[in-house]
A = this chain, B = another copy of it.
Amino acid sequence: MPETMGARNRVISVVETVFRKYGYEPLETPALESMDVLNMKVGEDTGKQIYRVEDGKLGMRFDLTVPLARLVAGNPSIPKPFKRYCIGKVWRREEPQKGRFREFLQADVDVVGSPRMECEAELIACACECLKELGFSDFTVRINNRKIMDAIVKKLGVKAQPEAVFRALDKLGKIGEGGVEQELEGIGVGKKEKDELIGFVSEKGSDEQITTKMEKYSAEGAGELKEILRLCGIYGVGNVSVDMSLMRGLDYYTGPVFEISAGEGVGSIAGGGRYDNLISSYGGGEVPAVGISLGIERIMALLEGKGGKGASLDVYVAAVKPEFYGKSVEAAKKLRGEGLSIQVDVMGRNLRKQLEYANSKGVRFAAIIGQKEAEAGKVTLRNLANGDEKLVSIQEAAKIVRG
């Protein structure tokens, strides 16, 4: 409904303004891609969520990262770093058995072409600034690194695909330890390895303790996490900590992954990670890349109640009788020229009904035009909140409305 849309437009506008301030440029990608493109490196669970179009030849994008990777692969001459933002819809089939469909709005920023942790820090800082500007104060950033998890899986001699292991571990919060154990068994992970894996992801301690412990599995992975922590300090982003249980569900991540939550138990409102191999999988050569995605619906749900009404209608220009319709259109035109949002009657309603409608829509002022006003070349401006009236010129009316 219009009120919700107004709130949504404000969220989008805030996010877009911050993205631009950080030097990201808009780039949109198609909503439809070939299934070959969409199915690459996303993993089984996500693959199942893709809406298939045209007998399965095409699919609807389930994120904004895959279409970006495909596009960059096809346009190797884009200057690097390529810093883009995209605010657009994605589709995921959440409950296929009921035939229901889900549509989400995501806001993504990505840095393409740099392997350095400066990107991760900037993306996290940029996302945090969006959240601050939107009115969030109590949020936390958790980071982990696929390189460490990869090394652990290898060291334990787990025979299952590492990505399948990550997907299983990713569900710890949703299905609990028992569920994860079952899933790990299902993909052939033995009891001992299973316990060790769950032990790893349950690792607690200070960032320093955890990264030091993880250095023996992947010095590179642990070093990257330390570097992100240091750089986030430069950006003045607090509340960043290492969380070994953070997996992120998608197969395409290759390095650091991160997630931002707003308060305890609310779930994540932003998340992302590094996907250094995704672009090359579309034939684009080795191009490192990393991105973060904000979930607009999730953000709006949390903001609910905080925001006000949608952008209000400023003035309803009401004709006392049909013969003043021309004058009301003229007055509306002038008021629009002052940048105001104006309605005039399109129902042939009498004055009382016009004002009732204006009230029902929450319009702030009515500019009434009858014989007296037409002769004086003025309007009677009525404040619909308190009933105050005044005979004024259009320019005076615009001034009053603008406050």
Q: Which residues of A contact B (CB under 8 A)?
A: 1-2, 5-6, 8-9, 20-23, 25-28, 30-32, 51-54, 57-58, 60, 79-81, 83-84, 89, 91, 93, 99, 101, 103, 111, 113-114, 116, 118-119, 122, 234-236, 310-311, 313, 316, 325-326, 329-330, 333, 336, 339-348, 357, 360-361
Contacts and interface: CB of A to CB of B under 8 A. Distances in A.
Contact of A99 (B31, B57, B236, B343): B57
A119 B345 CA distance: 9
Nearest to A79: B360
A119 B111 CA distance: 47
Nearest to A315: B23
Contacts of A346: 81, 111, 114, 116, 118-119, 122
14 contacts: A6-B25, A20-B311, A21-B336, A22-B342, A23-B344, A31-B91, A32-B60, A52-B54, A53-B101, A60-B60, A111-B346, A114-B347, A118-B346, A234-B325
A21 B89 contact: no
Given A2-B25, A53-B60, A116-B346, A101 B336 contact: no
A70 to B, nearest CB: 14
Contact of A235 (B329, B341, B357, B361): B329
A342 B21 contact: yes
Contacts of A113: 347
Nearest to A60: B53
Given A32-B51, A60-B53, A329-B235, A343 B23 contact: yes
A111 B326 CA distance: 19
Contact of A347 (B2, B99, B103, B116): B116
Contact of A58 (B22, B31, B101, B116): B101
A31 B28 contact: no
A84 B27 contact: no
Contacts of A9: 26
Contacts of A342: 21-23
B23 A84 contact: no
B2 A341 contact: no
Given A20-B311, A101-B32, A348-B116, A361 B26 contact: no
A311 B25 CA distance: 8
